[in-house]
């Protein structure tokens, strides 16, 4: 099984800050790395798929990068609506099982 | 608007059963893999099961194997999760999601349905 390590588990930042969340996998997963945002009481929302492709409707301040086993999600200038929990997800394996990272809770400083 | 709406959650006793449903609308349901993901209270996301477009392939997380059955009815644009032998560890919000699709992501999610296993 592919293990995922997401860091940090929590992060305090201010509006306008640039923040980066990291996801590391136990083996190479090519480009099958995706990022989600989840707000309290709501379903997750796909932000980034295939490492760096922005899902339709997602603001361009969100970006993804990485390859192999190390991946990042960056928010270039935090907005009030960005305070939420973020999850990475991989589905490289066959059959297509999915694994989520532990989540990063982004809080207002 | 493309939409998924779950139903069927509730309170069930340990050892009991429950059947969740997910109604899809405004997209070609039969053209997509579909997935169940759950989230225990205060915890992260856990993939539970997925099913191929025609129902010919089904996969489960180890903890669900032998207890849960995923199925679909393409004529009714509906996804199901039959859950048997439920335990406290199955208490969670259950989401249906479209996918895996592009880059094996889940691009549309329902609002979730809460399952509570307790005596």
Can you give the pLDDT at residue A16? 97
Nearest CB to B95 within list A43, A91, A102: A43
- 3-state SS class at A109: coil
Residues A18-26, mean pLDDT to the nearest whole number: 97
Per-residue model confidence (pLDDT) at position A57: 96
Q: Could you tell me which residues are beta bridge partners of residue B46?
A: B38
CA distance linking residue B89 with residue B109, whole number of Å: 22
> In DSSP terms, which residues pair with B118 in a beta bridge?
none
Q: Which residues pair with B60 in a beta bridge?
A: B49
Over range B48-71, report the average pLDDT. 97
**Confidence check: pLDDT of A94 > 80:** no
User: Nearest residue on chain B to A94, judged by CA atoms?
Assistant: B59
pLDDT band of residue A91 (cuts 50, 70, 90) is confident
Cis peptide bond N-terminal to A95, omega within 30:
yes
How many Cβ atoms are within 10 Å of B78's Cβ, its own excluded?
17
pLDDT bracket for residue A97 (50, 70, 90): confident
Mutate to test the interface with A, among B49, B104, B114 (most CBs of A within 10 A): B104
Percent of chain A at pLDDT > 70 equals 99
CA-CA-CA-CA torsion sign (A16, A50, A97, B30): positive
Tens of pLDDT, residue by residue over B12-51, are 999 999 999 999 999 999 999 999 999 999 999 999 999 9
| Tokens matching residue A20 | 């980066």
Pairing of strands A10-13, A104-108: parallel
Say if residues B9 and B91 touch (Cβ distance below 8 Å): no
The predicted-structure confidence for A30-59, as pLDDT tens digits, reads as follows 899 999 999 999 999 999 999 999 999 999
Find residue A86's DSSP bridge partners.
A37, A104
Asked if residue A95 has pLDDT above 90, the reply is: no
Tell me if B1 sits within 8 A of B26, measured CB to CB. yes
Interface of A with B (CB under 8 A): 31-34, 36, 38, 42-46, 49-51, 53, 55, 87, 89-92, 95-103
């Amino acid at each position: 099984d592919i293990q995922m390590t997401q860091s940090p588990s929590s992060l305090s930042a201010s509006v306008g800050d640039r923040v980066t969340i990291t996801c590391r996998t136990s083996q190479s997963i090519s480009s099958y790395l995706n990022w989600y945002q989840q707000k309290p009481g709501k379903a997750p929302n796909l932000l980034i798929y295939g490492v760096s492709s922005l899902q339709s409707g997602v603001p361009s301040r969100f970006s993804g990068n990485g390859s192999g086993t190390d991946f990042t999600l960056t928010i270039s200038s935090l907005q009030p609506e960005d305070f939420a929990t973020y999850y990475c997800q991989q589905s490289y394996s066959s059959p297509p099982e999915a694994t989520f990272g532990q989540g990063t809770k982004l809080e207002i400083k | 608007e493309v939409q998924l709406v779950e139903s069927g959650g509730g309170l069930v006793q340990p050892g009991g059963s429950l059947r969740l449903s997910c109604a899809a609308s405004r997209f070609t349901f039969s053209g997509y893999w579909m997935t169940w993901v759950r989230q225990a209270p205060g915890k992260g996301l856990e993939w539970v099961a997925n099913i191929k477009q025609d129902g010919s392939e089904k996969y489960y997380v180890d903890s669900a194997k032998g207890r849960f059955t995923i199925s679909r009815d393409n004529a009714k644009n509906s996804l199901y999760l039959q859950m048997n032998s439920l335990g406290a560890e199955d208490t969670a919000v259950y989401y249906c999601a479209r996918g895996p699709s592009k880059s094996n992501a889940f691009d549309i999610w329902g609002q979730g349905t809460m399952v509570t296993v307790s005596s």
